[in-house]
């Protein structure tokens, strides 16, 4: 029997559904608003949610995303990704090592890895990753990051030399997502700029349009 082929990571905004941002709205409701705006990649980041509640939410968000043709990735929690049949995981500096995530997930799911430079991207490729999250590009208040801000020029340089598709991370929003796309990013991760917008769905629509404008040089 042939192994299942892993999904392709779509270009565009990469939306994080984070339990620490706008906590008064459920993860499922937030994900629904993101997908309604055109998000094709949703990452669930659940640092505060109890594990049983997190599993239930992950199953619901995975089902929602798949109905709408979007991917659902889980931050850190390989176990939740497997139990909920998510499309993959994203792991960071203090999470499960990429090679172990790949061993657990098999060949049919995506593995993303946070890196800070080209050497990190090459190591991620050797460990079996499909893409890397590179940053922070800009200052961010959503998450404490023990790494220097790259800026667009350095970011673009790493993107050019990366052996894997790059998701730009850190401080990305409507005011700069076109510049991140123009710098060569495959995707651009957005957290608070979308979730704290007065209208989440409309903000995602605008983020999608701005990313495409940046890609096309419009």
29 is in an annotated binding site: no
Q: Which two tokens stand for residue 211?
A: 């990313």
47 is in an annotated binding site: yes
58 is in an annotated binding site: no
46 is in an annotated binding site: yes
* Partners of 91 in beta bridges: 113
Place of tokens 């220097």: 148
191 is in an annotated binding site: yes
* Chain centroid offset of residue 171 CA: 13
216 is in an annotated binding site: no
Q: State the angle between helix axes of 151-161 and 118-126 in degrees (0 to 180), rounded to the nearest 10.
A: 40
Residues near 157 by beta carbon (within 8 Å), at least 6 away in sequence: none
30 is in an annotated binding site: no
Residues near 54 by beta carbon (within 8 Å), at least 6 away in sequence: 46, 77, 80
What HEC string does 114-149 produce?
EECCHHHHHHHHHCCCCEEEECCCCCCCCCCCCCCC
95 is in an annotated binding site: yes
114 is in an annotated binding site: yes
Please say whether the dihedral angle defined by the alpha carbons of residues 190, 195, 198 and 203, taken in this order, is positive or negative.
positive
User: Binding site residues for Mg(2+), as ranges?
Assistant: 76, 95
Binding-site residue set: 43-47, 75-76, 95, 114, 140-143, 171, 191-192
């Amino acid at each position: 029997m042939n192994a299942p082929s892993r999904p392709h990571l779509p270009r565009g905004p990469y939306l994080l559904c984070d339990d620490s941002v706008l906590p008064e709205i459920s993860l499922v409701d937030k994900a629904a608003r993101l997908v309604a705006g055109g998000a094709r990649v949703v990452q669930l980041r659940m640092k505060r949610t109890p594990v049983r509640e997190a599993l239930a939410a992950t199953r619901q968000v995975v089902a929602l995303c798949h109905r709408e043709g979007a991917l659902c990735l889980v931050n850190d929690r390989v176990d939740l990704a497997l139990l909920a049949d998510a499309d993959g995981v994203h792991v960071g500096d203090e999470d499960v090592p990429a090679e172990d995530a790949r061993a657990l997930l098999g060949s049919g799911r995506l593995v993303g890895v946070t890196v800070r430079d080209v050497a990190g991207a090459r190591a991620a490729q050797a460990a079996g990753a499909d893409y890397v999250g590179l940053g922070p590009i800009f200052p961010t208040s959503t998450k404490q990051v023990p790494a220097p801000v790259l800026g667009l020029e350095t970011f673009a340089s790493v993107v050019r030399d990366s052996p894997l598709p790059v998701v730009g991370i850190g401080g990305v929003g409507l005011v700069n997502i076109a510049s991140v796309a123009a710098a060569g990013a495959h995707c651009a991760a957005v957290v608070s700029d979308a979730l704290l917008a007065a209208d989440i769905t409309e903000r995602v629509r605008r983020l999608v349009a701005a990313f495409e404008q940046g890609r096309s040089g419009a």
